[in-house]
Chains A and B, each alone.
Chain A
Amino acid sequence: QSALTQPASVSGSPGQSITISCTGTSSDVGSYNLVSWYQQHPGKAPKLMIYEVNDRPSGVSNRFSGSKSAYTASLTISGLQAEDEADYYCCSYAGGNTHVFGTGTKVTVL
């Protein structure tokens, strides 16, 4: 199980939209609609932002949305705010009741 591939960093100005990609293989992202996204501020635990590709847990802003095409999942943050500056990780079901995380993306709000 190799880690899913994410860009190391993505940046945007307040109010803009950014998209983070998460590329896997036919063994994980490509085979299951079971991709989740986590936000992690420095020194804090990860927080679930998106599950099953495009569903949001209660309490998560609708500025966060997810999608998937073939082997690549994406997280879009609309109306970027200063509080969105954090690390973001994707995670996919990888068969056999196992999971694989992405390499992580640092989002910077300019």
Chain B
Amino acid sequence: QVQLQESGPGLVKPSETLSLTCTVPGATKSNYYWNWIRQPPGKGLEWIGYFFYTGTINYKSSLKSRVTISMDTSNNQFSLKVNSVTAADTAVYYCARGIHPQKAFDIWGLGTMVTVSS
């Protein structure tokens, strides 16, 4: 069973950049879509975007101006950066695998909590 593991700082200051990585052995050569999804405390899930190993990337339109998803092929990691964060970006961030850009997310990481606060 594929294991996804998110990692990154748990605390980010307002206006700074949130940076997270998700480690997936073999991800760089696999035919899957690697997604980021977040969940503010006590609230619902929000899809952020995905990366495909060919370099195809797509983002939620309302976040597109602040979000970057990329892949580090040497470390089998894909990453998320969110610029100019505010308290509204406080959430548990999950990475999740999709077999197709239009279909379900079949494997999820455990999630990592990020708090935006000074």
A residues apposed to B, CB below 8 Å: 1, 3, 32, 34, 36, 38, 45-48, 51-52, 57, 89, 91, 93, 96-104
Q: Give the residues in chain A near B62, CB-CB below 8 Å.
A: 1
| In the complex with contacts A99-B47, A101-B44, A104-B45, A48-B103 CB distance below 8 A | no
A1 and B61: CB pair below 8 A? Answer: yes
Q: Which 3 A-B pairs have the closest CB atoms?
A: A36-B104, A51-B104, A97-B101
Q: B103: which of A89, A93, A102 is its contact (CB, 8 Å)? A: A93
| In the complex with contacts A1-B62, A45-B110, A46-B94, A103-B44 CB distance below 8 A | yes
Q: Is B29 an interface residue (CB 8 A)?
A: no
B59's nearest neighbour on chain A, judged by CB, is: A98
Q: List 30 interface pairs A-B (beta carbons < 8 Å), by A numbering.
A: A1-B62, A3-B44, A34-B102, A34-B103, A36-B105, A45-B94, A46-B94, A46-B108, A48-B104, A48-B105, A51-B103, A52-B103, A89-B44, A89-B45, A91-B45, A91-B47, A91-B105, A93-B102, A97-B50, A97-B101, A97-B102, A98-B47, A98-B58, A98-B60, A101-B45, A101-B46, A102-B44, A104-B43, A104-B44, A104-B45
Give the size range of B's interface with the partner: 20 to 34
B residues apposed to A, CB below 8 Å: 43-47, 50, 58, 60-62, 94, 101-106, 108-111
A38 to B110, CA, bound (A): 14
A57 to B91, CA, bound (A): 28
Smallest distance from the beta carbon of B114 to chain A beta carbons, Å?
15
